[in-house]
């Protein structure tokens, strides 16, 4: 297990804690980062989460700008300043901060969406809408690429 795969939805308890899906915890353990690195996505009501691999990806996007340059300051303010490092308790749970919950519109449950080297946190119903939107868009793209054909070998799963 070295990639975040699949989607899970868990509930927050009275103290605001959520269990990170067990398979995601296994990936984090391999990644070797103590805690959960969380960064709000810029144009989605979601939060990117992960460990070292996510963090270094973000850091590296900063290295192309010299320190003290305007762009470097702007980027680090948004990417690092808005990020949070959540502690993972002994049972594999985290407490989401108010900023994270506000940004993603999260109430009493969270959907964890695996995306390889990172995963995203969503408010469940918002994620369902987003996924539908993404599928429709994918269909459009395929239609344009393969006019008059059905995509061979590229499945999108059962249509609902």
Partner DNA sequence: GAAAATCCCATGATATCCCATGAAATCCCG
Partner DNA sequence: CGGGATTTCATGGGATATCATGGGATTTTC
Closer of 17 and 135 to DNA (Cβ):
17
Residue 138 near a second copy by CB under 8 A: yes
Structure tokens at 160: 């609902």
**Contact present, 18 and 10 (Cβ < 8 Å):** yes
The one segment of 14-22, 63-71, 73-81, 114-122 that binds DNA by CB under 7 A = 14-22
Residue 42 near DNA by CB under 7 A: no
Binder of a second copy out of 30, 128, 141, 146 (CB under 8 A): 141
Minimum distance, C-beta of residue 136 to DNA, in the bound complex (Å): 30
CA distance 2 to 75: 28
* Sequence-ordered list of residues with C-beta below 8 angstroms from that of 118, at least 6 positions apart, any chain: 4, 48, 49, 50, 53, 54, 57
Residue 11 near DNA by CB under 7 A: yes
**Contact present, 50 and 117 (Cβ < 8 Å):** yes
Residue 21 near DNA by CB under 7 A: yes
Binder of DNA out of 44, 75, 79, 95 (CB under 7 A): 95
Torsion angles phi and psi, residue 100, rounded to 5 = -65, -45
- The half-sphere exposure of 78 on its side-chain side, counting CA atoms within 13 A, is 10
Structure tokens at 33: 């980062």
Residue 139 near a second copy by CB under 8 A: yes
Binder of DNA out of 43, 70, 91, 160 (CB under 7 A): 91
Closer of 8 and 65 to DNA (Cβ):
8
**Contact present, 17 and 95 (Cβ < 8 Å):** yes
Give contact residues for DNA (rule: CB under 7 A).
Answer: 8, 10-11, 13-23, 25, 87, 89-93, 95, 97
């Amino acid at each position: 297990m070295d990639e975040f795969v699949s989607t899970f939805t868990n509930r927050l308890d009275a103290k605001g804690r959520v269990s990170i899906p067990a398979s995601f915890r296994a990936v984090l353990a391999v990644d070797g980062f103590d805690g959960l690195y969380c960064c709000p996505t810029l144009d989605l009501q979601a939060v990117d989460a992960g460990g070292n691999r996510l963090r270094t990806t973000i850091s590296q996007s900063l290295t192309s700008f010299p320190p003290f340059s305007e762009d470097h300051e702007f980027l680090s303010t948004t990417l690092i300043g808005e990020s949070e490092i959540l502690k993972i308790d002994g049972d594999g749970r985290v407490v989401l901060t108010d900023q994270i919950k506000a940004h993603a519109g999260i109430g009493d449950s969270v959907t964890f969406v695996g995306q390889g080297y990172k995963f995203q946190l969503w408010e469940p119903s918002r994620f369902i809408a987003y996924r539908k939107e993404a599928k429709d868009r994918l269909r459009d793209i395929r239609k344009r690429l393969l006019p008059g054909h059905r995509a061979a070998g590229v499945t999108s799963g059962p249509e609902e």
